[in-house]
Amino acid sequence: MRIVILLVSSFILLFGGEYELRLYEKVLPMLYNEKTIKVFPDYTTKSDLEKSTVLNVVDNCYEADVLIGKKFHNMRDGCEAKPIFATSYKSYKKHKSVIGAFYWRKGRPQISFRKDNIKKFNLTLPDSLKRYAQ
């Protein structure tokens, strides 16, 4: 039993970032109705997002369509008004401009969207994702 738990844990650690990347590559273009999205990640997600062919990682938040991550306390003026796709439940609840979140809770993936912010930023939530909106 311990071997199975160890193997599953190792698999999640090794491929967890790729799973999240694939999710971002599918969800964000649907929200923005664009093929390529400019993202500004926090330092914890940058290395994973740089592997993407759909998401274009930019060096400053002014150029970005969306910010992705969980740690954005030292944002420059004007950046706090950008939409945020959170990577933790705490960030999802904390930031006012969060449009959605993907995070892990008790070992299970969770995805949520905020209807009011999606409307505020003129984004479109596809029918397949509306059941995750609050």
Percent of the chain surpassing pLDDT 70? 82
| pLDDT for residue 17 | 56
Rounded Cα distance between 25 and 15, Å, is: 15
Comparison of pLDDT for 133 and 12, the residue scoring more: 133
How far apart CA 87 and CA 6 sit, in angstroms, is: 25
What is the DSSP secondary-structure string of 29-79?
HHHHT-SSEEEEE-TTTHHHHTT-SSEEE-SSTTT-SEEEES--TTPPTTT
- Residue 23 near residue 101, CB atoms below 8 Å: no
State how far the Cα of 68 lies from the Cα of 58, in Å rounded to an integer. Answer: 11
Each residue of 7-40: pLDDT tens digit?
A: 344 444 444 557 788 888 888 888 888 788 888 8
pLDDT at position 113 is 92
